[in-house]
Amino acid sequence: MERFLFWQRWLFVVGLLISVFGIMMVFFSGTTLFELFDSQITPVFWGTKEIADDIKGFQQWIYGVLGATVAGWGIFLAFISYYPFKKKEKWSWNCLVVGPLVWFAIDTAISLYCKVYFNALFNAVLFTLVILPLFFTREYFVQ
């Protein structure tokens, strides 16, 4: 049981961290806090790290929309892992497996197609953080 609670808490914390990251994207994109992130993505689409102000405006908007989505996804992960997953409700495990699988497949495929390799790598790390506890808790949900 202690092992299950470790992985349940892991999922909860990952959900909270994803939400914090999403909120940071909304409020801090275009600042030095996101310089590493921007420096990996901007040159792929504009061929340079220096972009025009109108492009910066678009980029800030798109990161805001993406950040809000990421924050919401993290909240769902945190709530599902904290309540129904902790009670070992089978649907919660299924949801936490299928949702990230769909996200990972689509997001990573479009990232690779558009040559945004940094995002594909970021997805792989995040996917591993989410799927690992689901792999180790499967036995509690499949009976």
If one counts every other C-beta atom within 10 angstroms of the C-beta of residue 69, the result is 13
Question: Smallest Cα–Cα separation from 36: which of 49, 45, 23?
Answer: 49
Distance CA 67, CA 19 (A): 8
Tokens encoding 34: 């996101």
What is the tens place of the pLDDT at every residue in 7-57? Answer: 999 999 999 999 999 999 999 998 888 888 888 999 999 998 888 988 889
How confident is the model at residue 114, as a pLDDT? 96
137 neighbors 8 (Cβ within 8 angstroms): yes
